[in-house]
Amino acid sequence: MPAKLLKGAEVAKEIRIELKAEVERLKEKYNVVPGLVTILVGENPASQSYVRAKQQTAHELGFYSIQDDQPADLSEEKLLEIIDKYNNDPKIHGILVQLPLPKHVNENKVLLAIDPSKDVDAFHPVNVGKLMIGEPDYLPCTPAGIQELLVRSGTEISGAEVVVVGRSNIVGKPIAMMLLQKAKGANATVTVVHTRTKDVKFHTKRADILIAAAGVAEYVKGDMIKPGAVVIDVGVNEVGRTADGKRILKGDVAFNEAVEIASAITPVPGGVGPMTITMLMKNTVRACKVHNNIKD
Ligand code: NAP
């Protein structure tokens, strides 16, 4: 029987309905509106489309939102000044700097400049550290989306063998750390594999939950998957363009093979992607509550 599709787009829709209700409640009861700024430096088309999607969702949920587009040659100093301005703007609760930044800008310096209490991407070392010790204020969006998708689909995480392909700071490492925690929706036994791993297939083959975040189109083949595994495909790889110029996207998993072996799998697109944006919105609502000292 082919695998069940874990449709992140549908789960994300459910969560957005919950978030919209919360935004309305905050407005009525406390007269506050979550505020999000997205800062985009340069004109990378993929980044532009991600930022547009984030802004559109923020708008749909009734946020106060600002899209701050800056030229590619913006100096690092000027970018730090802009961040400082939003750090001190009481209407803004979440600051997102779209990565990657142009080469002349030191990304780590920029991420460090964001007030950790407004760091809705959760990339600031303070938030990374809090996640590590199991006391996060904000969870990084893609890993949070993956965890939420697993939990809401009823996947047993506690005690499961989880194998993560990839060790990036934005996906591989944080999802491994989150599922490892002694906490609800976690308690897994986690292995992380990467390009220096001696035998990737040996590990992926024993995963009850396999999370592919390698950034290589269709890297995980059917014979690398344990029958009945839950497969989360994080990859978004452009493999070409349609005649009318639309991007053709493939995940990190060979979907047609995997769907015959796994018990559940996320499609690309429509799997992890929509969850990522929704978790950003969730973090922004949380930041708004933190900044307004709202506890309920
Ligand atoms: P990344 O920074 O390029 O990291 C890729 C990781 O995969 C690295 O740790 C690399 O190992 C490992 N890797 C690459 N090829 C491998 C191989 N052949 N065997 C084993 N490990 C291998 O990528 P990322 O930022 O984590 O993103 C991963 C993918 O997810 C990309 O396709 C990206 O577009 C996508 N993504 C999607 C979302 C979403 O919302 N849907 C969000 C973020 C990212 P080394 O460390 O040894 O180099």
Largest CA distance in the chain: 57
**Is the confidence at residue 207, as pLDDT, over 90?**
yes
Torsion 117-118-124-127 (CA) sign: positive
Question: What value, to the nearest 5°, has the Cα angle with vertex 116 and ends 54 and 211?
Answer: 55
Taking only the tens place, the pLDDT of each residue in 31-41 is 999 999 999 99
CA 157 centroid distance within chain:
19
pLDDT at residue 263 in the model: 98
Per residue in 28-78, pLDDT (tens digit) is: 999 999 999 999 999 998 899 899 999 999 999 999 999 999 999 999 999
pTM of the entire predicted model = 0.96
Q: How far is the CA of 109 from the centre of ligand 1 (A)?
A: 23
Q: Please tell me the predicted confidence (pLDDT) of residue 13.
A: 97
Q: Is the CB of 229 under 6 A from ligand 1?
A: no
Write down all domains in the chain, each with its CATH number in brackets: 29-115 (3.40.50.10860), 141-273 (3.40.50.720)
Does 274 sit in the ligand 1 pocket, CB within 6 Å?
Answer: no
Mean pLDDT of 182-188: 97
Pocket lining: 235 vs ligand 1, CB cutoff 6 Å: yes
Cα gap 28→19, rounded to integer Å: 14
Listed residue (200, 175, 194, 173) closest to 185, CA to CA: 175
Pocket test for ligand 1, best of 168, 201, 255 (most atoms within 8 A of CB): 168
Average pLDDT, the chain: 97
Q: How confident is the model at residue 1 (pLDDT cuts 50, 70, 90)?
A: confident
Residues 239-286 have pLDDT tens digits of 999 999 888 999 999 999 999 999 999 999 999 999 999 999 999 999
Active-site position among 115, 119, 121, 208: 121
Mutate to test the pocket of ligand 1, among 197, 218, 234 (most ligand atoms within 8 A of CB): 234
